[in-house]
């Protein structure tokens, strides 16, 4: 299945019909058939990235559904492929029909190349999600897809994953992107908390820390400085900073759950002071209404 505009439009129409009770059964059968074809994940990526679903003359009302709903359905389909069909083992475990679907290698390459740029695009405060209701759900599905693929392919088949996250953390000024980087990082690193200690696990953690520890610590310190600045006016920026600090602390736990990284140990006096401060930190503009 080529990711042509014709195929993308047709696929969008099928997803739209799957959202209506009258056409759901036939549409889901068509989607199941399409999902077995090489190129289907690339069509999903193109559909998610598109700005609108087709509304050609003569199409049904379902085909003209709000694009966010269609794109969310496509994102869920992509996430499910990453969960149940990324490897033959996944496909065998999830098999519920006579046909076992395994994502083609060329599609895996395309997904790894396009997933993070698409996620950051949707997360941007100046991007489509800022003005299109419903795209926040698309972002959540893509973030989960990143973690699912990373569990299989990082670091061997996806060595640039963490460097891409670290680059955004270091250079982006967009809180939508920065928040998504932290959320996605937690979805990848969070599994380390309960993982058994193995040489393979520690090799993976060390590879992450080499690229991620320094920009992460710098962002943690910048977030703390901004959130503690009384000159930062009350409003959305303070809420964003508080959420970023919350996510920073979650990711810090992920990165240090197995062992305290040397980069953290070297900065422990300042980090300890920061953690103690946030045990009792308050800002009037963050206080909720009393019951």
Per-residue pLDDT band at 130 (split at 50, 70, 90): low
What are the structure tokens assigned to 27, written together? 């549409």
Instruction: Give rounded-to-5 percent helix, strand, coil for the chain.
Output: 70, 0, 30
Q: What is the DSSP letter of 281?
A: -
Residue boundaries of the structural domains of the chain: 1-153, 161-291
Q: What is the DSSP letter of 21?
A: G
Half-sphere exposure (CA, 13 Å, Cβ side) for 289? 1
pLDDT > 70? residue 131: no
- Per residue in 167-204, pLDDT tens? 999 999 999 999 999 999 999 999 999 999 999 999 99
- Measured CA to CA, the distance from residue 197 to residue 214 in angstroms comes to 24
Of the given ranges (8-17, 96-105, 120-129), which has the lowest mean pLDDT? 96-105
Residue 174: Cβ-neighbour burial (10 angstroms; 0-12, 13-18, 19+): middle
Please report, rounded to a whole number, the percentage of residues in the chain having pLDDT higher than 70.
Answer: 89
Average pLDDT over residues 118-122: 94
- What's the pLDDT score for residue 239? 92
- Per residue in 239-280, pLDDT tens? 999 999 999 999 999 999 999 999 999 999 999 999 999 999
- Measured CA to CA, the distance from residue 216 to residue 218 in angstroms comes to 5
- What's the pLDDT score for residue 291? 46
- What's the pLDDT score for residue 152? 95
Reference 241, options 227, 225, 255, 252; nearest CA is 227
Per-residue pLDDT band at 99 (split at 50, 70, 90): low
Average pLDDT over residues 105-115: 97
Per-residue pLDDT band at 218 (split at 50, 70, 90): very high
- What's the pLDDT score for residue 233? 85
pLDDT > 60? residue 74: yes
What are the structure tokens assigned to 275, written together? 């953690």
SS3 160: coil
Q: Which residue has the higher pLDDT, 24 or 134?
A: 24
- What's the pLDDT score for residue 171? 96
Cβ contact 252:243 at 8 Å: no
- Measured CA to CA, the distance from residue 141 to residue 75 in angstroms comes to 6
Q: Which residue has the higher pLDDT, 286 or 46?
A: 46
- Measured CA to CA, the distance from residue 82 to residue 103 in angstroms comes to 8
Please state whether the peptide bond connecting residue 155 to the residue before it is cis, i.e. omega within 30 degrees of 0.
yes
Neighbours of 170 (CB within 10 A): 14
pLDDT > 70? residue 58: no
Per-residue pLDDT band at 139 (split at 50, 70, 90): very high
Q: How far is CA 151 from CA 146, 179, 204, in A?
A: 9, 21, 11
- What's the pLDDT score for residue 66? 41
- What's the pLDDT score for residue 235? 84
- What's the pLDDT score for residue 53? 38
Cβ contact 12:47 at 8 Å: yes
Cβ contact 94:85 at 8 Å: yes
Of the given ranges (96-110, 200-214, 230-244, 254-268), which has the lowest mean pLDDT? 96-110
Reference 30, options 46, 48, 10; nearest CA is 10
Reference 126, options 177, 51, 185; nearest CA is 177
């Amino acid at each position: 299945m080529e990711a042509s505009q014709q195929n993308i439009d047709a696929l969008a129409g099928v997803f739209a019909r799957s959202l209506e009770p009258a056409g759901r059964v036939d549409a889901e059968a068509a989607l199941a058939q399409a999902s077995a074809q090489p190129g289907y994940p690339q069509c999903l990526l193109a559909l998610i990235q598109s700005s609108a679903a087709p509304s050609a003359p003569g199409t049904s009302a379902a085909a003209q559904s709000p694009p966010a709903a269609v794109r969310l359905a496509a994102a869920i389909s992509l996430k499910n492929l990453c969960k149940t069909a990324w490897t033959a083992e996944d496909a065998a475990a999830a098999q519920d029909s006579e046909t076992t679907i395994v994502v083609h290698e060329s599609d895996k390459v395309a997904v790894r190349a396009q997933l993070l740029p698409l996620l950051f695009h949707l997360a941007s405060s100046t991007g489509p999600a800022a003005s299109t209701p419903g795209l926040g759900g698309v972002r959540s599905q893509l973030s989960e897809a990143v973690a699912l693929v990373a569990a299989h392919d990082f670091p061997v088949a996806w060595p640039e994953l963490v460097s891409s996250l670290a680059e955004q953390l270091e250079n982006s000024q967009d809180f939508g992107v920065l928040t998504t980087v932290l959320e996605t990082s937690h979805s990848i690193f969070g599994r380390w908390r309960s993982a058994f200690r193995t040489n393979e696990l520690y090799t993976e953690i060390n590879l992450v820390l080499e690229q991620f520890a320094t920009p992460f610590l710098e962002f943690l310190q910048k977030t703390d400085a901004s959130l503690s600045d009384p000159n930062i006016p009350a409003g959305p920026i303070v809420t964003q900073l508080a959420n970023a600090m919350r996510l920073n602390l979650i990711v810090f736990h992920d990165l240090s759950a197995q062992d305290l990284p040397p980069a953290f140990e070297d900065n422990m006096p300042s980090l300890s002071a920061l953690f103690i401060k946030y045990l009792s930190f308050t800002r009037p503009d963050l206080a909720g209404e009393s019951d």
